[in-house]
Amino acid sequence: MTPQSFKKTGLALLVLTALALPLILRSPTYLHILIMLYLYAYMTTTWNLVGGFAGVLPLGHSVFVGIGAYTSTVLWLQWGISPWIGMLVGGCLAGFVAYLIGKPTLKMRGAYFALATMAFVEGVRVIVENVDQLGPFKLNGPRGLNIPPLPAGEGSLLAFQFATKEPYYYIILFMLMGVVYLTWRLSRSKLGYSLSAGGEEPEAAEALGVNVAKCKVTAMVLSAFLTALAGTFLAQMTLFIYPKSVLTLDLSFELAFIALIGGRGSLAGPIIGALMLRPVTEFSRIYLSATLPGMHLILLGVILIVVMLYQPRGLSEPLTRLFNRLQDRICSTKTGGAK
């Protein structure tokens, strides 16, 4: 077996397992946990397009989740426009907003960009919490928006609502596979090379013909568009959105935590990170939220410190090494046996 085919087989097994899981795991509770895990892996992967490759630290990505969630929900509630169309509209709107924030802030260095993106989410959240009506759009202030559920047992593709968890599972699984594939393609493209180079040594990259600021803005717009799609998905999953659920720093920080712990700028990092950290968040929300709200962020912070001390580039690096060793062992025994 060649290393190439070993990788392909591994990947195929992984995908098949993910596709088959709902057939084995029939419990809606477990499926829900998996759906949320994929959703976070998805959002972190899209975060990674800027936070990982472009070498900056965006701490306000929830604003794009919020834009996606609010746009599709408002369009559905007020005009009956299918959330699938709303999803695309929200993505474009988020991309446009990302352009407006990215243009001036991506020229800033490190911490300033992080602070600017944080300030922006907080600003947007305060605005949304304080207006019930924004022009023709009903936002309903801090109370948020309810999507009336379809009658029990009914599902509709057009309404993006389903009676069981399985359709949600497959939608988010395909979305996740889509962005992972896109990231992989991007990392091997001119834009990917330019982003990595510009993130590492901006002056050298510029001397080699890379318009670093422009590449970063492009990545930011792409990332915002894709992140907003997750917002619509989240809204349709929960059928209830409010500023504190989709427009918070909590969510923005969690994405950054997952990326940093999993492995910033790597393909597997966001998935590994989500796999490790979603359970921590879920359990601390279930068992500690009454007594210690926000505990999950403290736990994530502690884990981040420990990981950064021992694996400053995140967990994906030692795991990749482990995988490679396994691959070497298996591939060499196979060829050895043939001799």
- Give the residues lining the site for another protein (CB under 8 A): 188-190, 193-194, 196-197, 200-201, 203-212
Is the CB of residue 144 less than 8 Å from the CB of residue 66? Answer: no
Least distance from another protein to the Cβ atom of residue 218, Å: 14
Is the CB of residue 177 less than 8 Å from the CB of residue 226? Answer: no
Closer residue to another protein (CB): 205 or 267: 205
The number of beta carbons lying within 10 Å of the beta carbon of residue 101 is 21
Beta strands 133-134 and 240-241: pairing type? unpaired
Is the CB of residue 16 less than 8 Å from the CB of residue 23? Answer: no
Least distance from another protein to the Cβ atom of residue 337, Å: 29
Least distance from another protein to the Cβ atom of residue 320, Å: 14
Closer residue to another protein (CB): 7 or 190: 190
Closer residue to another protein (CB): 188 or 339: 188
Least distance from another protein to the Cβ atom of residue 214, Å: 9
Strands (E), 74-188: 133-134, 137-138, 145-146
Is the CB of residue 191 less than 8 Å from the CB of residue 62? Answer: no
Closer residue to another protein (CB): 232 or 266: 266
Least distance from another protein to the Cβ atom of residue 192, Å: 9
Contacts of 256 (CB under 8 A, 6+ apart): 47, 51, 57, 58, 59
Least distance from another protein to the Cβ atom of residue 332, Å: 20
Closer residue to another protein (CB): 109 or 188: 188
Q: Residue written as tokens 């046996």?
A: 337
Please name every residue paired with 156 in a beta bridge, in sequence order, or none if there are none: 161
CA distance 299 to 281: 8
Closer residue to another protein (CB): 23 or 207: 207
